[in-house]
Amino acid sequence: MNAAIAQEYSGAPTGAPVYELTRVSKTYARNSVVALEDVSLTLRHGSFTSVIGSSGCGKSTLLKIMAGLIPPSKGRVILQSEPVTGPRRDIGMMFQQATLFPWKTAVENIVLPIEIRDGKAAAKNALEKAHELLDIVGLKGFENVYPNELSGGMAQRASICRMLITEPAVLLLDEPFSALDELSRDMMNMELQRICIEQDATAFLVTHSIQEAVILSDDIVVMKPRPGRIAEIVKVDLPRPRTLDMMTTPKFGEIVDHIRGMLDKGEEM
Amino acid sequence: MTDLHTNKPADTVTDEDTVWVQEIAFIDSVPRWIAMTFVFVVFIGTWQLVTSLGLVSPIILPTPMETLKDMIFVGTNLLSGGYMLGALWITIKEVIYGFALAIAIGFSLGVLVGETAFGEKAVMPYLVAIDTMPKVAFAPLFVAWLGFGIESKVALAAFIATFPIVVGTAAGLHAADENARMLFKTMGASRMQTLIKMKLPTGLPQIFTGLKIGAVGVMAGAITGEFLGGGKGFGELIRVAASQLNTPRVFSLILYLSLVGLALYLIVQWTQRKVVFWHKERVGAGDY
Ligand SMILES: Nc1ncnc2c1ncn2[C@@H]1O[C@H](COP(=O)(O)OP(=O)(O)OP(=O)(O)O)[C@@H](O)[C@H]1O
Ligand SMILES: [Mg+2]
The 10s digit of each residue's pLDDT in B27-74 is 888 888 999 999 999 999 999 998 888 888 888 888 888 899 999 999
B201 to chain A: closest CA residue:
A103
Handedness of CA B25, B29, B32, B36 (dihedral sign): negative
Check if the beta carbon of residue B126 is closer than 8 Å to that of residue B113.
no
Task: Please report the atom of ligand 1 found closest to the CA of residue A59.
Answer: 21
Alpha-helix residue ranges (DSSP H) falling in A165-243: 182-199, 210-216
Give the separation between CA B233 and CA B219, rounded to whole angstroms.
12
* pLDDT surpassing 70 at residue A2: no
Give the separation between CA B93 and CA A9, rounded to whole angstroms.
74
Instruction: Give A76's strand partners.
Output: A22
Write the DSSP symbol of residue A180.
Answer: S
H or E segment and range at residue B271: helix B247-275
pLDDT of the residue at A3: 40
Residue-wise burial string across B24-52, b where 16 or more C-beta atoms lie within 10 A, e elsewhere? eeeeeeeeeeeeeeeeeeeeeeebeeebe
* pLDDT surpassing 60 at residue A7: no
pLDDT of the residue at B198: 95
Chain segment B143-163, per-residue pLDDT in tens = 999 988 899 999 999 999 999
B180 to chain A: closest CA residue:
A99
Confidence of residue B282 (pLDDT cuts 50, 70, 90): low
Burial classification of residue A120, based on how many CB atoms lie within 10 Å of its CB (0-12 exposed, 13-18 middle, 19 or more buried): exposed
pLDDT of the residue at B1: 42
Confidence of residue B283 (pLDDT cuts 50, 70, 90): very low
Domain parsing of chain B, residue ranges: 2-52, 64-275
**Mean pLDDT score of chain B:** 88
Chain segment A128-181, per-residue pLDDT in tens = 999 988 888 888 889 899 999 998 888 988 998 999 898 888 999 999 888 778
If you count them, how many residues does chain B have?
A: 288
Residue B197, CA distances (Å) to A166, B190, B191 in order: 19, 10, 10
- Chain A residue numbers touching B177 (CB-CB < 8 A): 97, 99
Ligand nearest to the CA of residue A51, numbered in listed order? 1
Residue A102 to residue B279, Cβ atoms within 8 A: yes
**Which among A25, A36, A61, A267 is the best mutation to test ligand 1's pocket, defined by most ligand atoms within 8 Å of the CB?**
A61
Q: How many CB atoms lie within 10 A of CB A69?
A: 20
pLDDT of the residue at B76: 92
pLDDT of the residue at B43: 93
The β-bridge relationship of strands A219-224 and A48-52 is: parallel
Give the separation between CA B77 and CA B82, rounded to whole angstroms.
5
Instruction: Give A206's strand partners.
Output: A51, A174
CATH fold of the domain at B64-275 = MetI-like fold (1.10.3720)
Task: Please report the atom of ligand 1 found closest to the CA of residue A57.
Answer: 21
CATH fold of the domain at A3-86+213-268 = Rossmann fold (3.40.50)
pTM: 0.81
Size of interface A-B (CB pairs under 8 A): 51
- Order the strands of the A202-206 sheet from edge to edge: A91-94, A170-174, A202-206, A48-52, A219-224, A229-235
Quote the distance between the C-alpha of residue B279 and its chain's center: 19
Q: How far is the CA of A31 from the centre of ligand 2 (A)?
A: 17
Confirm or reject contact between A10 and chain B (CB < 8 A): no
Chain segment B163-212, per-residue pLDDT in tens = 999 999 999 999 998 889 999 999 989 999 999 999 999 999 999 999 99
Check if the beta carbon of residue B113 is closer than 8 Å to that of residue B166.
yes
Residue A69 to residue B189, Cβ atoms within 8 A: no
As a whole-number percent, the residues of chain A with pLDDT over 90 amount to 38
Provide the residue type at A194 as one letter. R
Establish whether this prediction's ipTM goes over 0.85: no
Check if the beta carbon of residue B179 is closer than 8 Å to that of residue B120.
no
Q: Which of A69, A101, A116 sits opposite B182 (nearest CB)?
A: A69
A91 to chain B: closest CA residue:
B186
With CA atoms as reference, report the closest residue to B171 among B223, B113, B234: B113
Domain parsing of chain A, residue ranges: 3-86+213-268
Task: Please report the atom of ligand 1 found closest to the CA of residue A36.
Answer: 14
Q: DSSP letters along A17-42, please?
A: EEEEEEEEEEEETTTTEEEEEEEEEE
Chain segment B238-271, per-residue pLDDT in tens = 999 999 989 999 999 999 999 999 999 999 999 9
Going by C-beta distance under 8 Å and a sequence separation of 6 or more, which residues neighbour residue B128?
Answer: none
